Amino acid sequence: MSEYLSMLYLWLKSAHLIFVIFWMAGLFMMPRFFVYHQESPVGSAEDGKWIEREGKLRKIILNPSLIIVWILGLVLAYQIDAFTQGWFHAKLLAVILLSAYHMWMMGYVKKLARGERTMSDKRLRLVNEVPGIAAALIVILVIVKPF
């Protein structure tokens, strides 16, 4: 039984990491989409194509990946009793903040679809760095476990 649970843990961990990669890819892509989308005239055919692309990225990659990452992550944390470990609290905070960033992006997708362009291209390029910084921090917390 112990061997079975060990194998199950490894499969769950692998799936978690695979969906983290999918989620991160979407988090990197969406702000780039925003930059290009904002250059198109509101109501144009190109604007419609960007709305469609952003919708597909949101529905097919970003939102499902976010949900699966959270479910598998919480199951794994429970299995290793991570809720009692300091590194995990820091990781959980980073993932919560990254999830908030995800939700902000979903809101901006809707603004762009309504024709609202509230951010500059430069600012969008800067917010594109958020997932990379978060990923680096999370990887260090999980691998090094500094506390």
Task: Give the whole-angstrom CA distance, residue 131 versus residue 61.
Answer: 15
Work out the end-to-end distance of the chain between its first and last CA atoms, rounded to an integer number of angstroms.
32
102 has binding-site annotation: no
56 has binding-site annotation: no
Of residues 93, 68, 88, the one with CA closest to residue 14: 68
Task: Give the whole-angstrom CA distance, residue 56 versus residue 139.
Answer: 28
Of residues 16, 57, 67, 65, the one with CA closest to residue 33: 57
Residue appearing with tokens 């609290």: 89
Binding residues: 16, 91
Binding residues for heme: 16, 91
